[in-house]
Amino acid sequence: MSTDRQDHPPPGDGRTRRRALLVISVGVLVAAGVLGARLVVSTSPAKPPHAGPAPNTVPVQRPAGRGPSAADLADARAMLVNEEEHGWDACYHGLFINWADVNGTTVGNWNGTGHPDPSPCTRHEDRMTTLRFLDSLLLYEADTGSTEFDGEINRIEPHVLTLFTTANADPRGWAYDTVVQIATLSGNPRFTAIADAMLKRYASTPADSSRPDWQIEEASALVQSRVPSYVALGSAELNRYWKAYDLHGLGLVDEPNGIVTTDQGDVAIALARAGLTTEAHQVLSGSEAHLWDPVNGGFAEGATYSNGSLSLKAKKTGGRAMNMLELGRILDDRSLVSTMDSIFHQHIYQSSPVGYQGVLYEQQPDWAPYTLGGTKESWVTSEAMGIATIALLSPN
């Protein structure tokens, strides 16, 4: 996942969207015996969860009691309102990478110096975060039946369709799942066409070995397509990639330059969605064993792998690690979901200032904000908020 990257452009064409019933991929495959004792987070750090049964790709109704809690919905709504009201940069018409309230004024695009970019019209929008924002809006509408964000959906949806086309299919396989979910929830066939173009790219020009995570995600998308030729190709690739990138003895998957990151969650999601549930459980277990903070709870940003060992990074990117909550939903692992949900509400979600609720890009090991260039690093970020909101609301 890349670094994060909003008054409002003209609204969309107002076409009527099909409000699809929220669907969920429910587990019917039995996990390969990976069971363990767990503690759900309370006010003290939790022991990280282990996994349960995993899904196939048949959409069915969400089981009773498996939807987002009232607290999840309230916090997701607050983040969406923040993004709607403050996250759009009218100068270049795109999402800020981050923003904060400074004496009643929204200031966006804070950089590595601890200050906003000197040019207010420098474009920094990351299209992946804008894609996640649209998915989050649609998921909230599907979960609640609310039409509160219809105007924002009608504004953002055509903007996303300028960022994503059939001609620029994205190589990140997790984006395929997001596009498919948007297509289902919106009923817009243009997103289906984009998803098809992504599959075609993955089959003809797969990512190279510099991005093992993309390779695994692309192969998973091919398997999920249910197109026989794609399934056969994706299955063969997954088997080959797993043998090549499995960090034996650690339960993790190799990543570029030996840097193991919270992308492990995305890799595990891709494996689980492709039916490789044993491997998904292994990556989850490896993440719990090597990336979990036993003192303060939560997952570290990552670690450096060298000579068979890992050196843990102290920094936390809690919002990005919320892909572990999404993984818990896919694996139907209620303890993992509960643990990550509790961590989110206690430490990751920033409930103040009112109107700017959201998720910070990075936090110290004890969850406190960093000070960067003499400035408290309190700006919320569109990438972290998108990952967190989708995790809270996503059906699968």
Look at the block and give the residue holding tokens 């474009």. 123
Q: How many CA atoms lie within 13 A of 341 on its CB side?
A: 25
Rg (Cα) of the chain, in Å, rounded? 20
| pLDDT per residue as tens, the chain (396 positions) | 333 333 333 333 333 343 343 333 323 222 333 223 222 333 344 444 433 332 222 232 444 456 899 999 999 999 999 999 999 998 889 999 999 999 999 999 999 999 998 887 888 899 999 999 999 999 999 999 999 999 999 999 999 999 999 999 999 999 999 999 999 999 999 999 999 999 999 999 999 999 999 999 999 999 999 999 999 999 999 999 999 999 988 999 999 888 899 999 999 999 999 999 999 999 999 999 999 999 999 999 999 988 888 888 889 999 999 999 999 999 999 999 999 999 999 999 999 999 999 999 999 999 999 999 999 999 999 999 999 999 999 875
| One-letter identity of residue 58 | V
What burial class does residue 350 get, using C-beta atoms within 10 Å of its C-beta: 0-12 exposed, 13-18 middle, 19+ buried? buried
C-alpha to C-alpha distance for 220 and 270, rounded to whole angstroms: 5
Q: Which residues have CB under 8 Å from 15's CB, separation 6+?
A: 154
| One-letter identity of residue 78 | A
Identify which of 85, 76, 7 has the alpha carbon closest to the alpha carbon of residue 358. 76
Q: What is the token pair recorded at 379?
A: 């700006």
Q: What is the reported pLDDT for 326? A: 96
| One-letter identity of residue 363 | Q
C-alpha to C-alpha distance for 214 and 200, rounded to whole angstroms: 15
C-alpha to C-alpha distance for 193 and 325, rounded to whole angstroms: 29
C-alpha to C-alpha distance for 264 and 56, rounded to whole angstroms: 20
Collapsed DSSP state (helix, strand, coil) of residue 144: helix
Identify which of 2, 31, 78, 59 has the alpha carbon closest to the alpha carbon of residue 355. 78
C-alpha to C-alpha distance for 40 and 309, rounded to whole angstroms: 29
